């Protein structure tokens, strides 16, 4: 290894999955001078595993979604860390606001109708110029009108579909499905295999340990990133217009630091909120269009621990079907936000916990409420929808991804605006470059006797939203981190035979 490569100062902004994957990969390539700057006092970003109940819960990412071509699955399965969650999100009960539980034969037929659209949408959305919402709504009511479904009560079907749309919004992180681009929806590629693999009693933080080669105890051990992460420090300015083709960062602790390369892994929500102030000079127009055109939304989780499970053993969870006349009781009241809590489900390895989900503006509003108020609202829902005695919970916790200025939401999706602007992940992933001389390296020297001019990537972009097909996931975030580490390795002639996907170069 030649000296100059060892000395390149590389700063990774953000210690989420993408930043950790990127920094650890850079070290593996042989770069020595790698620093990670993290605004939070902890690692993981939107991976946030905390002690709760019998072991841990995940406030952010919880499942490894799929097996084939999934880098998280590849890493974890070697150590037997993942397990199937089973059909928790398929076998749930549907409960109405008058405490009626939909009979299995009705619920199963309604589930089959929406399930069918999961298959057809892969083909039909290719030619769709409208939203996912209008597509799904047409599909649902078209199926419902078929003679074999004539006996399904229309009111119940509408309540079911209303709830189902909230579930789909939680998958997308959209407020309404009318926001989601029908065609854009297909940009996400689902990895084949089980899409709900959980991390047993360990939580998603296990992945970070795998990436850093660190042990479970002590929890603060950083493995290969030891001494390389600056916590509680946010980057406030990225000056990428210096004469020396380097980048200057201003940090919240008052320090500044000059680096040869900076890799930005902050969420799309953070970029949207701060790119105009963060970058000096401002980002090029194409990049600004990507930041503004790609969509980013909020989904929150609610965890309630009871002294003992009070729900039937065969219930994996229940969704909340509001009757219109009952909704009038909460709309325009302090409880209005509860309308967007769409269901509660069991949690693997946590026999006494139910996990609820909330979407949209009401999910963001929940973040502003006192913990007691959120819990009281959830208990109101339990008492309104279930006919058993509800025991007093022993513990409670909910996430607040939107309010936290280091996240500004949960994950990215493709909206109708993305389509209108005509942008995508590759525009977000494209590095900011300056013209410089090719760096010397043993590999390059073999082929080139003289240096020539080239584009040096000085500010690079990773993070989940920059993944073309695996956005909104951890495997997308990890791949994006590795992609940018590889981009630098290739620039210095260190990358071996692997190559960055052409579309992302």
Tell me: does residue 474 bind ligand FAD (CB under 6 A).
Answer: yes
Q: How far is the CB of 44 from ligand FAD (least distance, A)?
A: 7
Angle at 469 between CA 497 and CA 456, to 5 degrees: 50
Q: Measured between alpha carbons, how far is 310 from 39 in angstroms, rounded to an integer?
A: 40
Q: How far is the CB of 110 from ligand FAD (least distance, A)?
A: 25
Q: Which residue in 55, 406, 426, 440 binds ligand FAD (CB under 6 A)?
A: 406
Q: Give the interface segment with ligand FAD, choosing from 9-17, 135-143, 307-315, 489-497 (CB under 6 A).
A: 9-17
Tell me: does residue 15 bind ligand FAD (CB under 6 A).
Answer: yes
Tell me: does residue 17 bind ligand FAD (CB under 6 A).
Answer: yes
Q: Which residue has the tokens 């841990």?
A: 56
Tell me: does residue 19 bind ligand FAD (CB under 6 A).
Answer: yes
Angle at 366 between CA 364 and CA 369, to 5 degrees: 130
Tell me: does residue 401 bind ligand FAD (CB under 6 A).
Answer: yes
- Long-range CB pairs of 325-330, under 8 A, 24+ apart, other chains included: 326/97, 326/98, 326/384, 327/97
Tell me: does residue 259 bind ligand FAD (CB under 6 A).
Answer: no
Nearer to ligand FAD, 109 or 301 (CB): 301
Q: Which residue in 10, 11, 12, 13 binds ligand FAD (CB under 6 A)?
A: 13
Report 329-348 residues binding ligand FAD (CB under 6 A): none
Nearer to ligand FAD, 100 or 221 (CB): 221
- Label residues 298-336 b or e (16+ Cβ within 10 Å = b): bbbbbbbbbeeeebeeebbbbbbbbeeebeeebeeeebe
Q: How far is the CB of 395 from ligand FAD (least distance, A)?
A: 19
Per DSSP (E only), the strands in 196-349 are 197-198, 229-230, 235-239, 247-251, 256-259, 261-264, 279-280, 295-297, 299-305, 317-321, 341-347
Q: Which residue has the tokens 């150590």?
A: 79
For residues 223 to 252, the per-residue mask of contacts with ligand FAD, x marking binding by CB under 6 A and - elsewhere, is: -----------xx-----------------
Q: Give the interface segment with ligand FAD, choosing from 10-18, 418-426, 433-441, 494-502 (CB under 6 A).
A: 10-18
Burial status of residue 400 (CB atoms within 10 A of its CB: 0-12, 13-18, 19 or more): middle
Nearer to ligand FAD, 18 or 214 (CB): 18
Count residues near ligand FAD (CB under 6 A). 39
Q: Measured between alpha carbons, how far is 195 from 177 in angstroms, rounded to an integer?
A: 22
Q: Which residue in 163, 472, 486, 504 binds ligand FAD (CB under 6 A)?
A: 472
Contact status, residue 94 vs residue 319, Cβ threshold 8 Å: yes
Tell me: does residue 463 bind ligand FAD (CB under 6 A).
Answer: yes
- DSSP 8-state code for residue 80: T
HSE-CB of 495 using CA atoms within 13 angstroms: 15
Distance from first CA to last CA of the chain, Å, rounded? Answer: 25
Report 37-76 residues binding ligand FAD (CB under 6 A): 37-40, 45-47, 60-63, 65
Q: How far is the CB of 126 from ligand FAD (least distance, A)?
A: 25
Q: How far is the CB of 248 from ligand FAD (least distance, A)?
A: 15
Q: Measured between alpha carbons, how far is 149 from 98 in angstroms, rounded to an integer?
A: 24
Q: Give the interface segment with ligand FAD, choosing from 263-271, 312-320, 322-330, 346-354 (CB under 6 A).
A: 263-271
**CA dihedral sign of residues 398, 204, 360, 98:** negative
**Contact residues for ligand FAD (CB under 6 A)?**
13-19, 37-40, 45-47, 60-63, 65, 234-235, 265-267, 270, 299, 301, 399, 401, 406-407, 410-411, 463-464, 472-474, 477
């Amino acid at each position: 290894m030649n000296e100059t490569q060892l000395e390149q100062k590389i700063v990774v902004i953000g210690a989420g999955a993408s930043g950790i994957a990127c920094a650890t990969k850079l070290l593996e390539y042989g770069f020595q001078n790698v620093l990670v700057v993290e605004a939070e006092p902890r690692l993981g970003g939107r991976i946030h595993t905390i002690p709760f109940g019998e072991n841990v819960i995940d406030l952010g990412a919880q499942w490894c979604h799929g097996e084939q071509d999934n880098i998280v699955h590849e890493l974890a399965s070697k150590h037997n860390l993942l397990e199937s969650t089973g059909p928790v999100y398929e076998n749930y009960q549907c409960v109405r606001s008058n405490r009626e539980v939909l009979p299995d034969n009705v619920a199963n037929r309604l589930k089959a109708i929406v399930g069918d659209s999961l298959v057809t949408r892969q083909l039909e959305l290719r030619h769709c110029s409208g939203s996912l919402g209008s597509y799904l709504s047409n599909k649902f009511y078209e199926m419902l009108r078929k003679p074999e479904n004539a006996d399904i009560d229309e009111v119940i079907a509408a309540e079911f579909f209303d709830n189902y749309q909230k579930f789909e919004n939680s998958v997308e992180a959209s407020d309404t499905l009318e926001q989601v681009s029908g065609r854009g929806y297909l940009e996400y590629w689902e990895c084949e295999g089980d899409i709900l693999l959980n991390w047993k009693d360990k939580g998603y933080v296990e992945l970070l340990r795998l990436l850093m080669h660190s042990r479970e105890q002590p929890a603060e051990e950083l493995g290969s990133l030891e001494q390389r992460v600056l916590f509680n420090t946010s980057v406030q300015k990225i000056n990428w217009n210096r004469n020396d083709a380097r980048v200057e960062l201003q940090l919240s602790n008052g320090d500044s630091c000059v680096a040869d390369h900076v890799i930005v892994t902050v969420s799309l929500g953070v970029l949207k909120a701060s790119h105009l102030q963060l970058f000096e000079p401002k980002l090029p127009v194409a990049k600004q269009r990507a930041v503004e055109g790609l969509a980013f939304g909020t989904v929150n989780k609610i965890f309630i621990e009871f002294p003992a499970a009070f729900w039937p053993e065969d219930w994996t969870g229940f969704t909340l079907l509001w009757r219109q006349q009952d909704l009038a009781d909460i709309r325009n009241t302090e409880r209005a936000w509860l309308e967007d809590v769409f269901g509660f489900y069991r949690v693997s390895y946590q026999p006494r916990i139910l996990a609820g989900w909330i979407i949209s503006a009401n999910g963001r509003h929940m973040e502003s409420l006192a913990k007691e108020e959120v819990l009281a609202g959830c208990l109101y829902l339990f008492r309104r929808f279930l006919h058993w005695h509800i025991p007093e919970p022993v513990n409670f916790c909910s996430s607040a991804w939107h309010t936290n200025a280091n996240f500004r939401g949960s994950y990215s999706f493709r909206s109708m605006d993305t389509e209108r602007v005509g942008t995508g992940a590759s525009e977000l992933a494209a590095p900011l470059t300056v013209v410089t001389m090719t760096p010397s390296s043993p590999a390059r020297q073999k082929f080139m006797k003289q240096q020539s001019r080239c584009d040096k990537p000085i500010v690079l972009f990773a993070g989940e939203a920059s993944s073309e097909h695996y956005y909104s996931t951890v495997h997308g975030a990890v791949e994006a981190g590795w992609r940018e580490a590889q981009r630098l390795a290739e620039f210095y002639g260190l990358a071996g035979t692997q190559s960055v996907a052409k579309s992302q170069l």
